[in-house]
Chain A
Amino acid sequence: MKYFGFIWRNVWRKKIRTSLTMLSVFVAFLLFALLSAIGYAFKSGEDAADAERLIVIDKITLINPLPFAYKNRIAATEGVHSVTHASWFGGYYQDPRSQFPQFPTEPYEYFAMYPELNMPEYQLDAWARNRQGAVIGRELAEQYSLKVGDRIPIQATIWTKADGGRTWEFDIEGIFETDDPRGSTAYLLFQYDYFEEARAFGKGTVGWYILRVKPGADPVQVANAIDLQFANSPNETETSTEAAFAQSFAKQFGNIAMIVSLILGAVFFTLLLVSGNTMSQSVRERISELAVLKTLGFSDRSVLGIVLAESIVIMLIGGLLGLGVGWVLVQGAAKAMGTFLPGMFLSPTATITAIAIMIGAGIAAGIFPAVKAMRLSIIDALARA
């Protein structure tokens, strides 16, 4: 647009002031990028979920185990297509502080339940044949430089072995990947049969059940039907969709979304004050210049537009830089905190939201000075000068 050169010069009228304002904008959007990535991570369980899969856990708490005997009863419930189970092993490999999940489960059933997981057929078969076999995700393989054929010892923190030992050894029979862009592959699966045979206590139980509903069946109805079966028993169940389950798990930490919003609210409130002040000063200094523009024939509305454009330009430059640097930092943070808080990511939605905020904030910061400029009486302004 031909006015851009003019607008640009006006923006840099007072270099230090504009730079400092842009830096404030930069910081605000850097924070936005980081906080939205964290919020995204907390939501990633929810978003990766499949709408047709349900999770059955103990009603009181996830960590109470469920009887293995429930499996057939769940399978027989109306609307259930297939069911399998998994449990939380909770051990560590090498360093107690960097843990990754291990789940004992049924090989063929699990991969049928999670079709987004891909592994060569022969590897799945090899695992199923080897009681002490395990398969790991690609992320895990890369992080620890593991490959098929390696023997991996896992130290148990919960599940001592019947023979008193705490080291569980597994042969890696396969490496799997996922189609789901938000799914993680930083975990290990091994055979429930081995788990059941070797553990010292808790036999006959599983951590939770995973089931798929028949096409056309209502997940809510199926969930209720399952929970009804086990109501008033010593192990009451709570069945929910995968998404709901992930959500309720994240909620246990606290209302993360709200905390993030509050902090960002404080940040942007301050930002608006700073930019609003800058724009006010900028207009105040230029009263006579703006009046001259009007004498030259620039309409009231165009003067409004020019001031708003300046405000928006400042926001866009500072903001895009902040987002850019934020994006780089998020990449780094995601690698550093990968096992601890997986899924940190600056999503396209967040980026678009940020840009919309930049424009909105530009308008908000500039609107009062811009209207003042628009309403300027040429004569009064020139007489003052």
Chain B
Amino acid sequence: MSEVLATLTGVSKTYQKGKESVEVLHNLDIEIPKGDFIAIMGPSGSGKTTLLNLLGGLDKPTSGTVRVGDAEISSMSNNQLSRWRSTNIGFIFQFYNLLPVLTAQKNVELPLLLTNFGSAERAHRAGIALEIVGLEGRTDHYPRELSGGQEQRVAIARAIVSDPMLLLCDEPTGDLDRETAAEILGLLQILNREHGKTIVMVTHDAQAAEFANRTMICDKGTLEHQEAV
């Protein structure tokens, strides 16, 4: 039994929409083992993105606790969360969210600005990350000069460059064609199986979920297991 990386205990999340409160997550108890690759599926509005935000410290639960690694992040201040996030979490978004004013190389180096590494060290580490995602040749290109698939690779490189313990992906292949999507998902698999990264991926694409180890269904604020085939 591998050790547990993240635990949600009794977690509920309610939003205020005008006069109404909407309960998005209801009393969740989840454990995420280290080195796992989990796909979370479910209809929109089911709270799966909220779950991702809670795991990444972007949001706090209305009740319950969230524990990732050694940190109980649900009780940390915003500043503490920022600092924690920079070394522990890597985000990958559907629309890549690269900074258009920076080259691929500089985009990947961005999280390293928060560290004490000198510029040579930062360039070196970014170079390694770009190699891992298979993009060594195009490091000087700007996002607008790259294809969708290439941009996502840069985004992944950025997500892994500070060697985080947890990768959180929000519909990473939502904007890609079938072929490119398969490439990206394959890359995530490699990161999981060969580099030991724990990955939680939210998706509505059943084929994408097949790349993961197991799938959970998120519906009406609750989570149910569904074993991988």
Contacts and interface: CB of A to CB of B under 8 A. Distances in A.
The judgment on whether A and B are partners is yes
Interface of A: 2-3, 5-6, 9-10, 12-13, 288-289, 292-301, 378-379, 382, 385
A341 B110 CA distance: 56
A379 B53 contact: yes
Contact of A379 (B59, B85, B106): B59
Contacts of A379: 53, 58-59
Contact of B87 (A9, A297, A300): A297
Contact of B79 (A5, A9, A13, A300): A300
Chain B, interface residues (CB within 8 Å), range: 20 to 34
Contacts of B59: 379
B211 interface: no
Interface of B is mostly: helix
B83 interface: yes
A139 to B, nearest CB: 54
Contact of A300 (B82, B93, B110, B114): B82
A297 B97 contact: no
Contact of B85 (A13, A297, A301): A297
A2 B91 CA distance: 23
A87 to B, nearest CB: 70
Nearest to B58: A378
Contact of B83 (A297, A378, A385): A297
Contacts of B97: 288-289, 292, 382, 385
17 contacts: A2-B113, A5-B106, A9-B106, A10-B101, A13-B101, A294-B82, A295-B56, A295-B85, A295-B89, A296-B91, A296-B110, A296-B158, A297-B86, A297-B111, A379-B53, A379-B58, A382-B97
A9 B101 contact: yes
B164 to A, nearest CB: 10
A2 B100 CA distance: 19
A25 to B, nearest CB: 21
B87 to A, nearest CB: 7
Contacts of A299: 78-79, 82-83
B114 A298 contact: yes
A382 B53 CA distance: 11
A295 B58 contact: yes
Contacts of B78: 299-300
B190 interface: no
Given A296-B110, A298-B114, A289 B99 contact: yes
A192 B83 CA distance: 83
Given A292-B99, A297-B83, 17 more contacts: A5-B106, A6-B102, A6-B106, A6-B113, A9-B102, A10-B101, A13-B100, A288-B97, A292-B91, A295-B58, A295-B89, A296-B86, A296-B91, A297-B114, A299-B78, A300-B78, A382-B97
